[in-house]
Amino acid sequence: MNVPVIAVDGPGGAGKGTLCFSLATQLRWHMLDSGALYRVTAQAASDAGLDFADEGALVSIAEGLDVEFLPAAEGLTRVVLAGRDITDAIRTETCGNKASQVAAMESVRAALLDRQRRMARAPGLVADGRDMGTVVFPEASLKIFLTASAEARAKRRQAQLLARGESATLARLLETIEERDARDRNRAASPLMPAADAIVVDSTGVPAQEVLDTVLSEARNRQLIG
Ligand code: DC
């Protein structure tokens, strides 16, 4: 692979989105939010009234996704499915849980693989997900596994929900996070785990800027950036 890729994996709420957005902005590289692809697949399947046990139908949906990720103001990305803006719809906890269900299916993952790999374009790609360093970009130039305690992740999720005018108790969020972690880590298809050559970064109590500096310094060590 000629195009440099920084793969950032880890559980939900560890700060991958913030880190990847800052990296991509600073380096002027492309960005892949692979979780959004699973969320969009789940949303499209719900909209079509599909039974989530119907794996074949979910694969057809994943293969045929007519989705666009459009840069918007203030670093936001608008997600447009077949001409309809679903940015807010895919960020709900309900959609996240459905995404976790479709993401557990090997055939759905396979259907989304090429779409993800095609995102590796010059000058470089920052890829955010669960299996970026292990499956999608095993040759990535730098692999980061960003983690944090479940409590810290629940608090981060709560702040994100509040910012969108939604609310949820910490206890409920912690429960959801632990459920989703278990599903993502224990599934047979591309389970969430650090690649053997990944650098594990724990963001518990660490300011976002410090996490970014750590990753930039690793990128410099590998001469990915000047
Ligand atoms: O990062 P996120 O919360 O948007 O991801 C939504 C779900 O998709 C989450 O349960 C994990 C799953 N996912 C995955 O299995 N593989 C990826 N590369 C990205 C996300």
Q: Tokens 């969430």 identify what position?
A: 192
* Cα angle value 167/178/176 (rounded, 5°): 30
pLDDT tens digit sequence for 81-138: 999 999 999 988 889 889 989 999 999 999 999 999 999 999 999 999 999 999 999 9
Topology, domain 5-220: Rossmann fold (3.40.50)
Where does the pLDDT of residue 1 fall: very low under 50, low under 70, confident under 90, or very high at 90 and above?
low
Q: Give the number of the atom of ligand 1 that is nearest the alpha carbon of residue 9.
A: 18
Integer CA distances (angstroms), 19 to 109, 187, 222, in order: 24, 26, 18
Q: Give the number of the atom of ligand 1 that is nearest the alpha carbon of residue 17.
A: 1
State whether the beta carbon of 133 lies less than 6 angstroms from ligand 1: no
Which residue has the least CA distance to atom 9 on ligand 1? Answer: 100
CB 83 within 8 A of CB 92: no
Rounded Cα distance between 164 and 100, Å, is: 21
pLDDT tens digit sequence for 122-179: 999 999 999 999 999 999 999 999 999 999 999 998 998 888 888 889 999 999 899 8
- Hey, where are the domains in the chain? 5-220
Rounded Cα distance between 17 and 23, Å, is: 10
Pocket test for ligand 1, best of 34, 94, 114, 161 (most atoms within 8 A of CB): 34
3-class DSSP state of 84: strand
DSSP class per residue in 100-146: HHHHT-HHHHHHHHHHHHTT--TT-EEEEESSIIIII-TT-SEEEEE
